[in-house]
């Protein structure tokens, strides 16, 4: 009978060793699930920022009177640029037509949002229909009650694509007319839009405070005579955003722009702000804290094996009497720890994979049928998960190494048990 087979028999017949493997499995499952959820949150956060804002954003000062071509051509010529799209951005408030906010902006009938004006060629990248953003002769209509309403052309209001969460919050359906109040120079500028469609990103805060419209309409709402405020730059594969931003800054510096005309160049990480930086910083800290749970589970194996040495003195004496060297005894206990660790890690990974796969069901189970992770707090409508093979491999290797390391103490103690005392209990 080999020592490994003997170790397996000990494991099967001793509930305390099975319990040790169960504790290790629970720790591995918790850490595996936490890493998957946090990696999913961070990945979804990065993806949502990058999908909407591109890799680099060139923010043109409002005081600049330069035409679009003076900024667009130098940026397009930068090596590594895949595409450049002009946008017009307006900060305002939105509400249903007939809301009291038309007369009093201090009421709660309006919801703040960012209206982003885009061209048809950028619409597919944002999940929108390009036909909605084609330029037509339709004017930007003021809401009913303005003095200009009588002079407005009898055409439907221009289209607006609203976040699904905000549309549901306002009780809007496709085809409804809503009013947007923009601010330029401290003066409110009101206009009517028609809800043409809704978009869903899976990120709650983006669906609540973003809207898409035609660039010309947003430029008039924001009082941008040049028709644009930003340039959204997407990089070619393999080009880092920071490197591309440095190239763009250098190209614009060579474009003979005055100080008040020089744009601000920001990467998608800069736009992510404190939330993105905090999430990236906390990933390593969170993994370290939860790995302590695994270490505690592995440490309990030390106590279990020490107890096994005490209870199995006679078996150890027989092994020594049959010629087992101290190195063989150490190998036996390390092998026994390897069996416990392998079983615990395998069961823990299986349990963690199930938790990640059915995370929504587990959430409802823990919350008594109600969601625990509210989208208003955690930004996403569903819990994102992402199993990273590299992180899983590090988890398995570190757990297994800790298990073997803690097994050395009882293994060395077992070699010091005198043979006669082990055999005859003296």
- Using one digit for the tens of pLDDT, what is the confidence trace for 328-341? 777 777 888 888 88
CA–centroid distance for 426 within its chain: 63
Predicted local confidence at residue 388, as pLDDT: 87
- Asked if pLDDT for residue 144 goes beyond 60, the answer is no
In the predicted model, what is the mean pLDDT of the chain? 80
pLDDT, position 148: 47
Q: 28-32, 78-82, 306-310: which range is least confident on average?
A: 306-310
**pLDDT above 90: residue 85:** yes
Q: Cβ(114)–Cβ(122) under 8 Å?
A: no
Q: Average pLDDT in the 64-84 region?
A: 91
Torsion of CA 385, 391, 392, 395, to 10 degrees: -130
Question: What does the pLDDT read at residue 145?
Answer: 53
Residue 3 half-sphere exposure toward CB, CA atoms < 13 A = 20
All residues at 6 or more sequence positions from 240 whose CB lies less than 8 Å from its CB, including other chains = none
pLDDT in tens, 377-422: 666 777 888 888 988 898 888 888 888 888 888 777 766 655 545 4
Q: What is the mean pLDDT of residues 6-26?
A: 78
- What is the arithmetic mean of pLDDT over 190-197? 88
Give the residue carrying structure tokens 């939860």: 290
The DSSP secondary-structure symbol of 120 reads G
Residue 267: pLDDT band (50, 70, 90) is very high
Residue 184 has pLDDT above 70, yes or no: no
Tokens, residue 25: 């499995």
- How many percent of the chain have pLDDT more than 70? 80
pLDDT value of residue 90: 87
Q: What is the mean predicted confidence (pLDDT) over 225-244? A: 91
Please indicate whether residue 150 or residue 413 has the higher confidence score (pLDDT): 413
Is-contact 148 190, C-beta < 8 A? no
The reported pLDDT for the residue numbered 150 is: 42
Are residues 36 and 351 in contact, defined by beta-carbon separation less than 8 angstroms?
no
Rounded-to-integer distance, Cα 186 and Cα 190, Å: 13
User: Do residues 380 and 281 make contact, with C-beta atoms less than 8 angstroms apart?
Assistant: no
Q: What pLDDT, on the 0 to 100 scale, is given for residue 231?
A: 94
| Of 408, 158, 425, 407, nearest in space to 316 by CA | 425
Angle at 158 between CA 193 and CA 194, to 5 degrees: 40
Distances (CA, A) of 316 to 9, 286, 408: 15, 42, 16
Which has more confidence, 347 or 113?
347
The single-letter DSSP state of residue 379 is S
Higher pLDDT, 61 or 153: 61
- Vertex 214 angle, CA 209 and 218, to 5°: 65
Exposure string over 190-221, b if 16+ CB within 10 A, otherwise e: bbbbbbbbbbebebbbbbbbbbbbbbbbbbbb
Residue 152's pLDDT band (boundaries 50, 70, 90)? very low
Beta bridge partners of 194: 159, 177
Q: How far apart are CA 116 and CA 134, in angstroms?
A: 15
Q: What is the pLDDT of residue 242?
A: 92
Whether the CB-CB separation of 360 and 382 falls below 8 Å is answered with yes
Higher per-residue confidence, 362 vs 379: 362
375 Cβ contact list (under 8 Å, min separation 6): 165, 204, 381
- Residue 71 above 60 pLDDT? yes
Residue 55, pLDDT > 90, answer yes
Cα dihedral sign, 145-151-154-155: negative
């Amino acid at each position: 009978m080999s020592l490994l087979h003997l170790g397996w028999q000990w494991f099967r017949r001793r509930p305390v060793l099975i319990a040790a493997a169960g504790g290790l499995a629970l720790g591995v499952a918790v850490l595996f699930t936490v890493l998957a959820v946090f990696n999913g949150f961070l990945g979804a956060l990065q993806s949502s920022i990058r999908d909407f804002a591109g890799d680099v954003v060139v923010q043109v000062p409002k005081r600049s009177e330069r035409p679009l071509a003076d900024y667009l051509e130098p940026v397009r010529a930068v090596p590594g640029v895949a595409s450049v799209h002009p946008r017009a951005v307006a900060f305002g408030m939105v509400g249903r037509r007939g809301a009291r906010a038309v007369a009093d902006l201090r009421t709660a009938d309006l919801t703040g949002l960012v209206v982003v004006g885009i061209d048809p060629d950028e619409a597919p990248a944002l999940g929108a229909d390009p036909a909605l953003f084609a330029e037509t002769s339709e004017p930007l209509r003021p809401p009913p009650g303005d003095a200009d309403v009588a002079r407005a052309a009898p055409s439907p209001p221009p289209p607006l694509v609203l976040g699904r969460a905000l549309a549901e919050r306002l009780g809007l359906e496709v085809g409804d007319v809503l009013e947007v109040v923009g601010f330029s120079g401290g003066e409110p500028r009101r206009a009517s839009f028609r809800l043409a469609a809704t978009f869903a990103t899976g990120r709650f805060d983006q669906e609540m405070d973003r809207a898409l419209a035609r660039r010309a309409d947003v430029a008039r709402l924001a009082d941008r005579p040049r028709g644009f405020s930003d340039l959204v730059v997407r990089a070619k594969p393999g080009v880092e955003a920071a490197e591309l931003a440095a190239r763009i800054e250098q190209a614009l510096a060579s474009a003979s722009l005055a100080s008040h005309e020089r744009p601000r160049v920001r990467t998608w990480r800069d736009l992510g702000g404190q939330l993105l930086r905090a999430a990236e910083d906390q990933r390593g800290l969170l993994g370290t804290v939860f790995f302590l749970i695994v270490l505690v589970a592995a440490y309990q194996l030390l106590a279990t094996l020490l107890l096994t040495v005490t209870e199995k003195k006679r078996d150890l004496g027989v092994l020594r009497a049959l010629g087992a060297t101290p190195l063989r005894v150490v190998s036996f206990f390390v092998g026994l720890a390897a069996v416990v660790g392998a079983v615990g890690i395998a069961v823990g990974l299986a349990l963690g994979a199930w938790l990640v796969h059915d995370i929504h069901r587990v959430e409802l189970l823990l919350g008594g049928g109600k969601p625990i992770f509210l989208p208003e707090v955690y930004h996403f409508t569903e819990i994102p998960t992402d199993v990273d093979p590299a992180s899983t491999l590090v988890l398995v290797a570190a757990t297994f190494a800790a298990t073997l390391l803690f097994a050395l103490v009882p293994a060395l103690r077992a070699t010091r048990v005198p043979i006669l005392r082990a055999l005859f209990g003296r």
